[in-house]
Structure 1
Amino acid sequence: MDCDPSSMTSPTPPFAPVQTSTDAFPAHRRLAMWREIYGRNIANVDIETLDDTPFHASVTFQGLPGVGVVTGSRSPAHYHVTRQHLASARDGFGLSVLMSGAATTKQLGREIICRPGSASIISGTDPSVNTMHSFGSFITIVLPRPEVSALVRDLDSTFASQLPSENPALRLLVRYVQTLHENGPLEAALAKAAASHIVDLAALAIGANADAAHEARQRGMAAARLQSIKAEIRQRLGVGDLSAATIALRHGVTPRYVHKLFERDGTTFSEYLLARRVERASQMLRDPAFAAHTISAIAFECGFSDISYFNRTFRRAYGATPSDIRAAAFRIR
């Protein structure tokens, strides 16, 4: 982790991801401006490059109630968090996941050799040095220490240690925060729920005590699993025989569990799949990039094998035929 936890937990609704990059700066001033804007005003760190190669960094922030998420990429550099930086630090800590590249983290007299997919648990009240030795990408999750301490016995003893990439809860957590960024702004109630799920998954990954682990699995893991399944459905809408059974197999759960997740969400697997397919078809019908596609071709690309069924379903959802929607969209243009 290369940021002060206190700098990432005071969002302004609607809790939207915010992106900043050195690409927006003049080439000859990128390092100086990144040190000023990111190092001093956002992350509260000192930045020291490793060599003379052109400097690059890009990060996306998303503040949630009590939790902060940072994803990004950067060129080789040391990111120093000193005692001076920590003078006004809040009671938080970080879970920093290396997604690609080579990196090390030094804290509490230990050095962690970070491996892609693994996560370093970093104290938010002790100095640290995070070094990216090659160009790479990362996810850092800033967490509230009191809330996680209530779930993980002796949390402080885990600081400056590493969680392996094979950790199932960690893998779910990574997919969950990636999906959050993809979904864009969140309303207050959803942001609060997402923050709670992140805390639960982090506690499970680190090692929640037995009672807390049971509760966290019920809340955090189920929510993250559902988000992951929904994301895969959206990616595979064109697979005509997509089913709960095929999704369950890919996620290592039973079809019944998949159905239960959707039932708890107030819908069914089939209803969600059908709604997303019709929604995708509607987007394609309005998009000039698909103007040369026939309606039947669009229906097929969205997973419909029966054009009559597609037309009926579409009209029920939008109160108009696919032809009407397409004609209206192009008249506006």
Structure 2
Amino acid sequence: MQQLVVPTHRPIPVESMRSELRRVCGVFDVEPSRASNGIVCGDVSLRRMGSFDTAVVALDASHVARSGHAIRQDPGEHLFLLLQDEGHCRIEQNGRSTALAPGDMFLVDAVKPSCFTYDGQRSNQLSLHLRRDEMLHRFGDICTGGIAIDRQDPLWLAMRAVIAKMVAAPTASTPLQEAFFGLLGAYFHGLREAGRPRETVLSRALALIDRHAADPDYGASELAFQLNVSERTLQRHFEPLRETPSRRLLKRRLELARGRLATDGIARPASGIAAIAFECGFNDLSYFYREFRKQYGETPGKSRH
């Protein structure tokens, strides 16, 4: 299988490799092979593909690990879609062990301890950094915990093709990014149909927020009532997102408003901003302006294209 990236393999002290890996990917520990005298051949670089940060990690270490202690130091904000581009790796996460050959993909959960074993053999990997809160927002809990992407599934080939296009044309990757999310969504749907856990309270809550965000009278109490849980219980289900149901609802309304401003705001007079705010679930215009500026660092008027 053709490599997507050809990184530099250079001898560097393991401490330098560890430092670079932590700078790009978070707190991981690197263990060199016994015969290496503390030297690892490889490199770590970061590139931008659309809105994805993508790490290219080349090394010949014994293993790389992310422990519970490391997670407490650096709570993971991402899921890492790992694509094995050259060599082999064995990933252990969430009680499962998965062997990766060239072309294989695995969705690593940064909030769960993990270990990547290379046995001192040369390995190249691409790691797409997917924001955990966005992934949970889009797909619910089914995307967490560590998931191997089955290369027997036709969607595997489609996902790899989209990644290859993003590597080849990183500045033109935004439409490809949405196509990639669509393929991931289809893959997770297949997992649910195959008997993986059904919808959780969180995934149902996120879907209801998407459905009712434009209703100004819809709030956390209505959401909890529809889910048949208490507001306190609902809050606990939102803890992985590090936000409250009310904050998620506000962010969704702001997203709706910003999208409307970008697409049809230019066709409306200045008063049209108020109309868009009301249509997206805000009944207090000064509150809308204040929260919009806090979220996006600019006024609603500046978001009009």
After TM superposition, the score normalised by the length of structure 1 is 0.47
Alignment counterpart, residue 79 of structure 2, candidates 80, 90, 93: 93
User: Where in structure 2 are there 5+ consecutive unaligned residues?
Assistant: 194-305
For the pair 1:33 / 2:23, whether they are aligned, the reply is: no
Aligned to 2:109: 123
Distance, in Å, in 2 between the alignment partners of 1:112 and 1:72 is 19
Distance, in Å, in 1 between the alignment partners of 2:25 and 2:133 is 21
Aligned to 1:175: 161
In structure 2, relative to structure 1, the CA distance for the partners of 1:118 and 1:98 (3 Å cut) is same
Tell whether the 8 Å contact from 1:66 to 1:144 is kept in structure 2 after alignment.
no
Distance, in Å, in 2 between the alignment partners of 1:20 and 1:136 is 10
Distance, in Å, in 2 between the alignment partners of 1:136 and 1:110 is 21
Alignment counterpart, residue 180 of structure 2, candidates 187, 191, 198: 198
Aligned to 2:66: 81
In structure 2, relative to structure 1, the CA distance for the partners of 1:104 and 1:121 (3 Å cut) is same
Distance, in Å, in 2 between the alignment partners of 1:119 and 1:193 is 21
**Partner amino acid for 1:138?**
Q
In structure 2, relative to structure 1, the CA distance for the partners of 1:41 and 1:153 (3 Å cut) is closer
Aligned to 1:144: 131
Tell whether the 8 Å contact from 2:7 to 2:124 is kept in structure 1 after alignment.
no
Distance, in Å, in 1 between the alignment partners of 2:70 and 2:13 is 22
Cα distance, 1:130 vs. partner? 1.1
Cα distance, 1:21 vs. partner? 4.6
Distance, in Å, in 1 between the alignment partners of 2:165 and 2:57 is 14
Q: How many residues align?
A: 183
Alignment counterpart, residue 189 of structure 2, candidates 207, 212, 234: 207
User: Where in structure 1 are there 5+ consecutive unaligned residues?
Assistant: 1-17, 211-333
Distance, in Å, in 2 between the alignment partners of 1:74 and 1:125 is 23
**Partner amino acid for 1:82?**
S
1:147-199 deviation line (CA, Å, top 9, x unaligned): 3334435415x623322222222222222222322225x2xxx4543433332
Tell whether the 8 Å contact from 1:66 to 1:143 is kept in structure 2 after alignment.
no
Distance, in Å, in 2 between the alignment partners of 1:155 and 1:141 is 18
Cα distance, 1:81 vs. partner? 1.3
Over 4 Å off, 4+ runs: 18-22
**Partner amino acid for 2:155?**
A
1:27-60 deviation line (CA, Å, top 9, x unaligned): 4x44332222x13322231110123246211344
Instruction: Give the match's secondary structure for 1:73.
Output: strand
For the pair 1:71 / 2:56, whether they are aligned, the reply is: yes
Tell whether the 8 Å contact from 1:95 to 1:122 is kept in structure 2 after alignment.
yes
Cα distance, 1:108 vs. partner? 1.9
Aligned to 2:273: none
Cα distance, 1:20 vs. partner? 7.6
Please give the root-mean-square deviation of Cα atoms over the aligned residues, in Å. Answer: 3.2
After TM superposition, the score normalised by the length of structure 2 is 0.50
Tell whether the 8 Å contact from 1:102 to 1:132 is kept in structure 2 after alignment.
yes
